[in-house]
């Protein structure tokens, strides 16, 4: 029975454990319940990934109503891939959160914190698995609202303004998405993505070409794209991101940076391929012509700005904008190789940014701040944390034998296969810049000396270091034994593109 309903349980379990956390009330109990829920979701997600690889697309009719009358859950390989990323990061972050949350968040808020973390988690998973355009909006809003709370629940007052700005821009993004879906609904009369895709290729009632050639559908695409760009934080719509990641509690920064933008990119793929695939959005709108330049400029500017950051978390946040740029380049190429490279980079970026933010969280636990001046020599006294940090940093730069190298290499190959020489050169330039900012962090942490008279620092507690190291080793694992991940992302890309082919 569980196998049959796995596709819904993976989302609903965390969604319903969230109110349970509030009923339990106490922080420790809530943490226990949340951890169990997230781990079961992780188990279910692995099971689902295996089944999707074997059987192809999985479907589930919610309420027993056949689509398009009811809402359908529909899991394809790209969705299963992102689902596995999200649940895996969740499974690593929750054990870590126990100590970190006790240090960074007031005690009476703990149960609420775990409830919101679960809701955010469930919302993100709901996006990966839904086959209904409006249900996607609802899931998006569950995760967004929970995110606003998670960001502002700590003690840093700057997190309040960051969360508020995110709330404004996030709501605008979601409303744009809503407008886009409204336009599509008006032209197709349905909300089911596959049904929409089918009707878009049909002839219009007045016989003037297929539905997808109408101005309304083009405008819908424009709104959906811009709305999703806001959520992805693609340059120049990235303004909300740096402060959100920088001032949120460590656990939240780690979880969001590893998952939220990835899921938003999946929304973009849903718009481009699943809904509008047969209408070939890349021909109808100048998407490739705008997306690739924006992405590459974004990657360069963000890398450049990152060099000048004096706060480690802000620095990592800017680097995230740059990395999202790489993924956007792959999508903008509109080739199978580019798409596969993007998906692979999505996995690897989740691992490396997760590692880095978790390691920084360990440092925050002991030192209490993230400004570079205050961290001189700290790494020497926290050997395990700094090992993880160095591994994550190397992977971020893209040093061979790390995960970052594999996906960057795949991206470069995809770019060169289309003979975009300038884009390839600029990607390399941006990687060089990443050596500067990662090097700066490692330099301060390991090579500089502690100021004389500073109190000695201990390594962070075991339950924080262990998850961090697990992810850090993931960087090596996916760097050396990269075939499996590459194969899965290749198949996922192939499936998305095949949907496009008539």
Partner 1 sequence: MEFLGYINYWVFIVLMMSGFYLFLSARNLVKKIIGLNLFQTSVFIYYISTGKLRDGSVPIQTEGIESYSNPLPHVLILTAIVVGVASTALGLSLILRIKDDYGSIEEDEIDAQDVLS
Partner 2 sequence: MGVAIDIILLLFLLSIAFAACVTRNLFSAAMLFGIFSLISATLFVVLDAVDVAMTEAAVGTGVSTILILITLASTGYRVSPRPAGRQVLALAVSVVLGATMVYGTLDMPSLGSPDAPVHTHPIAQYYTEVSPVEMGIPNMVTPLLASYRGYDTLGETAVVFTAGIGVLALIGRRRRKDPLPIVEEFREGGANRHRVLRVISKQLIPPILLYACYVQAHGDFGPGGGFQAGVIFASGLMLFMLLFGVEHARRIIRPVVLEKLIALGLLIYGGVGLVNILQGGAFLDYRTLAHDPQHGLHYGILTIELGVGITVAAVITTIIYSFASHLRDHVMQRTLRLRQGADAAQTSPESGA
Instruction: Provide the residue count of the chain.
Output: 502
State the maximum Cα–Cα separation within the chain, in Å, rounded to a whole number.
82
Cβ atoms < 10 Å from Cβ of 335: 18
Q: Could you give phi then psi for residue 75, rounded to 5 degrees?
A: -110, 115
Q: Does residue 23 bind partner 2 (CB under 8 A)?
A: yes
Q: Is 15 in the site for partner 1 (CB under 8 A)?
A: no
Structure tokens at 404: 């970052």
217 binds partner 1 (CB under 8 A): no
How far apart are the C-alpha atoms of 166 and 143, rounded to whole Å?
Answer: 13
Q: Is 207 in the site for partner 2 (CB under 8 A)?
A: no
Helix axes 483-500, 77-104, angle to 10 degrees: 120
CA distances from 182 to 52, 133, 176, 217, 247 (A): 31, 10, 10, 10, 35
236 part of the interface to partner 2, by CB under 8 A: no
Give the nearest distance from C-beta 325 to partner 2 in angstroms: 23
Q: Which two tokens stand for residue 158?
A: 């700057």
> Under rule CB under 8 A, which residues in 162-191 are in contact with partner 2?
179, 183, 185-190
Q: How many CB atoms lie within 10 A of CB 373?
A: 11
Least distance CB 406 / partner 2 (angstroms): 36
By the rule CB under 8 A, 286 interacts with partner 2: no
Which of 57, 62, 307, 476 binds partner 2 (CB under 8 A)? It is: 62
x-or-dash string of contact with partner 2, 360-389, rule CB under 8 A = ------------------------------
- Residue 143 CA to residue 331 CA, distance in Å, equals 24
CB 263 within 8 A of CB 143: yes
Structure tokens at 297: 């400029």
Q: Could you tell which of partner 2, partner 1, none binds residue 102, using a CB distance below 5 to 8 A set by kind?
A: none
Which one of residues 31, 42, 96, 112 is an interface residue with partner 2 (CB under 8 A)?
Answer: 112
311 contacts partner 1 (rule: CB under 8 A): no
- Smallest separation, CB 377 to partner 2 (Å): 36
Decide if residue 58 touches partner 2 (CB under 8 A). Answer: no
- Least distance in angstroms from the C-beta of 200 to partner 2: 11
Residue 160 binds partner 1 (CB under 8 A): yes
Q: Which of 40, 87, 100, 139 binds partner 2 (CB under 8 A)?
A: 139
Nearer to partner 2, 59 or 310 (CB): 59
What are 70's two structure tokens?
Answer: 């009811």
499 binds partner 1 (CB under 8 A): no
Are 402 and 498 in contact by the 8 Å Cβ rule? The answer is: no
Which residues on neighbouring strands pair with residue 192, listed in sequence order?
132
Residues 115-154 binding partner 1 (CB under 8 A) are 134, 137-138, 141, 144-145, 148-149, 152
Q: What is the DSSP letter of 108?
A: G
b or e along 164-197 (b: 16 or more beta carbons within 10 Å of the residue's beta carbon)? eebbebbeebbebbbbbbebbeebbebbbbbbbb
Using the rule CB under 8 A, is 146 a contact of partner 2?
yes
List 37, 78, 117, 122, residue binding partner 2 (CB under 8 A): 122
Task: Compute the distance between CA of residue 74 and CA of residue 379 in angstroms, rounded to an integer.
Answer: 46
Q: Is residue 239 involved in binding partner 1 (CB under 8 A)?
A: no
Q: Which does 245 bind (CB under 5 to 8 A by kind): partner 1, partner 2, none?
A: none
Footprint of partner 2 (CB under 8 A): 1, 5, 8, 12, 15-16, 18-20, 22-23, 60-65, 68-71, 108-109, 112-113, 115-116, 119, 122-123, 126, 134-135, 138-139, 141-142, 145-146, 148-149, 152-153, 179, 183, 185-190, 199, 205, 211, 214-220, 222-223
């Amino acid at each position: 029975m569980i196998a049959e309903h796995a596709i819904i349980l993976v989302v609903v379990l965390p969604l319903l454990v969230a109110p349970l956390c509030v009923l339990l009330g106490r922080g420790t109990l809530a943490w226990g319940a949340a951890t169990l829920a997230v781990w079961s979701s992780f188990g279910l997600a692995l099971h689902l990934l295996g089944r999707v690889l074997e059987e192809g697309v999985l479907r589930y009719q919610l309420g027993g109503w056949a689509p398009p009358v009811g809402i359908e859950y529909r899991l394809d390989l790209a969705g299963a891939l992102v689902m596995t990323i999200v649940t895996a990061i969740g499974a690593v972050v929750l054990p870590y959160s126990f100590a970190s949350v006790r240090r960074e968040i007031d005690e009476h808020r703990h149960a609420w914190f775990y409830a919101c973390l679960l809701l955010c988690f469930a919302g993100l998973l709901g996006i990966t698995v839904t086959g209904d355009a409006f249900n996607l909006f609802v899931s998006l809003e569950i995760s967004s609202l929970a995110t606003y709370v998670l960001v502002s629940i700590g003690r840093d007052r700057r997190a309040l303004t960051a969360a508020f700005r995110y709330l404004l821009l996030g709501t605008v993004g979601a409303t744009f998405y809503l407008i886009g879906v409204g336009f599509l609904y008006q032209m197709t009369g349905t909300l089911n993505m596959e049904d929409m895709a089918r009707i878009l290729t049909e002839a219009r009632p007045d016989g003037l070409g297929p539905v997808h050639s109408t101005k309304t559908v083009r405008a819908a695409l424009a709104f959906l794209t811009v709305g999703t760009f806001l959520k992805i934080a693609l340059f120049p719509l990235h303004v909300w991101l740096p402060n959100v990641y920088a001032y949120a509690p460590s656990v939240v920064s780690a979880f969001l940076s590893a998952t939220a933008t990835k899921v938003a990119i999946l929304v973009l793929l849903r718009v481009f391929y699943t809904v509008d695939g047969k209408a070939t959005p890349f021909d109808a709108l100048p998407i490739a012509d705008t997306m690739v330049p924006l992405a590459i400029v974004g990657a360069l500017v963000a890398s450049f700005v990152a060099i000048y950051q004096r706060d480690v978390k802000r620095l990592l946040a800017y680097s995230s904008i740059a990395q999202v740029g790489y993924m956007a380049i792959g999508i903008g190429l509109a080739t199978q190789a580019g798409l596969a490279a993007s998906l692979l980079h999505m996995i690897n970026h989740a691992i490396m940014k997760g590692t880095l933010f978790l390691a920084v969280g360990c440092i925050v636990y002991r030192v209490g701040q993230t400004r570079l001046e205050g961290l001189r020599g700290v790494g020497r006294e926290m050997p395990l944390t700094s090992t993880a940090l160095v591994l994550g940093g190397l992977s971020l730069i893209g040093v061979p034998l790390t995960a970052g190298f594999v996906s960057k290499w795949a991206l470069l190959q995809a770019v060169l296969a289309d003979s975009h020489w300038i884009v390839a050169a600029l990607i390399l330039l941006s990687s060089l810049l990443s050596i500067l900012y990662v090097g700066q962090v490692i330099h301060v942490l390991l090579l500089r000396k502690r100021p004389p008279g500073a109190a000695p620092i201990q390594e962070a507690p075991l339950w924080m270091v262990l998850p961090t190291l697990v992810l850090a080793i993931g960087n090596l694992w996916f760097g050396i034994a990269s075939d499996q991940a590459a194969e899965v992302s290749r198949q996922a890309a192939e499936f998305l593109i095949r949907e496009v082919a008539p």
